[in-house]
């Protein structure tokens, strides 16, 4: 069974303004989830930050690509 935080993350997965509305609680939940899979605290944090940076970079490039056409 999915917890409320997991459902919230899944529901917002396709939200174009995801990073404007992400909460600290959701970031910490993701960090704990990754850390719980055997990574150190620092490795888990780097995974979260890298994932967010990539998501933001590709979201911006899609936005720019749409406006150029």
Amino acid 45: pLDDT:
95
Sign, CA torsion 12/17/20/21: negative
If you average pLDDT over residues 4-21, what whole number do you get? 56
Higher pLDDT, 29 or 2: 29
User: Mutual orientation of helices 24-35 and 41-68 as an angle, nearest 10°?
Assistant: 120
Q: What is the pLDDT of residues 21-68, one digit of tens each?
A: 788 999 999 999 999 999 999 999 999 999 989 988 888 665 555 555
The token duo for 45 is 């944090």
Higher pLDDT, 13 or 29: 29
């Amino acid at each position: 069974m999915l917890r409320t935080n997991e459902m919230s993350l899944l529901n917002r997965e396709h939200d174009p303004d995801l990073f404007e509305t992400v909460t600290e609680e959701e970031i910490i939940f993701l960090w704990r989830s990754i850390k719980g899979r055997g990574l150190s605290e620092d490795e888990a944090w780097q995974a979260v930050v890298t994932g967010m940076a990539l998501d933001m970079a590709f979201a911006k490039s899609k936005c720019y690509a749409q406006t150029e056409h």
